[in-house]
Amino acid sequence: MSDTAPPGTQTLARGLALIRAVASGATDLRGLVEDTGLGRSTAHRLVQLLVSEGYLRSGRDGYALGPTLIELGFQALHGSPLPVVARPVLEELAEQLRDTVHLAVRDGDSVLYLDKLPGSRGAEMRSRIGHRMPLTRTGVGMALLLDSAPEWRDLYLAETPVEPGRVRPEDVDAFLARMREYAESGVAMDLEDNEPGIRCVAAPIRDATGAIAGAISVSATRPYMPAARMRGLNRVVGRAARQVSAGLGHREP
């Protein structure tokens, strides 16, 4: 739980911490106390309120996120123009290519998936709407970072799953070289960085100000995504991203 809550909001912060703990997998009071550091009686009292208001639900398997969060989540999703504008383009891509198509945005230092159309061939991918993934290890994440060169190194170091301080300099240099290439071309590639056997091509979506507002990706298993096809998809995915960008009011220079 954050120690920086503004004065007078501690109870709200505690309730939000409990919701996040359930979202992270805590299912009983003991787990909630361990995850949040709250006292048992305080956690129990707040959980009862959250259950009564529908933010959590209590069942045979313990606590889970409740229907109120689902309702608010859909309202938040449809309150943004991006998913609405992008949906027809995503559907067209999925029908044309038969691969998995994603729409994502950057939320802090992670990728947040807003939409997913599963492909009709190959293995199912672990991504799902509302799921978060690393920025530097996903195609959509790298596409979202194309304008953020000063952050590339630090984000890569933070997200690389090795012992801190033991990342090889040559790996960092290779990643930075890839990002410079992607920034120049306007399209990023996931070369099995996130999931073994899964590759993707991604491109950024820009809003009326020219800022990156999201990204589209097309993903498939290695047999359906050889290097030659990935290069060919650069133009297809880039064109789709520009269509969505135009719907958000972006105009090409």
Structural domain count of the chain: 2
| Domain annotation covers residue 252 | no
Per the CB < 8 A criterion, the answer to whether 135 and 159 are in contact is yes
CATH code of the domain containing 66: 1.10.10.10
10 phi, psi to nearest 5 deg: -65, -40
Residue 127's pLDDT is what?
A: 80
Same domain, 149 and 196: yes
- Comparing C-alpha atoms, which of 85, 77, 78 is closest to residue 247? 85
Same domain, 15 and 34: yes
Q: Which residue has the higher pLDDT, 146 or 7?
A: 146
Give the position of tokens 């920086």.
4
Question: Rounded CA gap, 92 and 40, in Å?
Answer: 51
Q: In what order do the strands lie in the sheet with 110-117?
A: 132-134, 110-117, 100-107, 212-221, 198-206, 188-191
pLDDT above 70 covers a percentage of the chain that reads 92
Q: What pTM, to 2 d.p., does this model score?
A: 0.72
> Is the pLDDT at 206 greater than 80, yes or no?
yes
Same domain, 113 and 140: yes
Same domain, 49 and 138: no
Number of Cβ within a 10 Å radius of residue 14: 19
Same domain, 129 and 202: yes
Domain boundary among 48, 72, 96: 72
- The pLDDT tens digits for 49-104 are 999 998 998 888 899 988 888 777 766 666 668 888 999 999 999 999 999 999 99
Residue 86, C-beta contacts closer than 8 angstroms, at least 6 positions apart: 103, 115, 205, 214, 216, 244, 247
Per the CB < 8 A criterion, the answer to whether 30 and 39 are in contact is no
Same domain, 165 and 190: yes
Same domain, 179 and 229: yes
Same domain, 152 and 234: yes
- The pLDDT tens digits for 221-247 are 999 999 999 999 999 999 999 999 999
Question: Rounded CA gap, 87 and 199, in Å?
Answer: 22
Same domain, 220 and 111: yes
Per the CB < 8 A criterion, the answer to whether 140 and 90 are in contact is no
Per the CB < 8 A criterion, the answer to whether 111 and 212 are in contact is no
Domain that holds residue 31: 10-72
Number of Cβ within a 10 Å radius of residue 190: 23
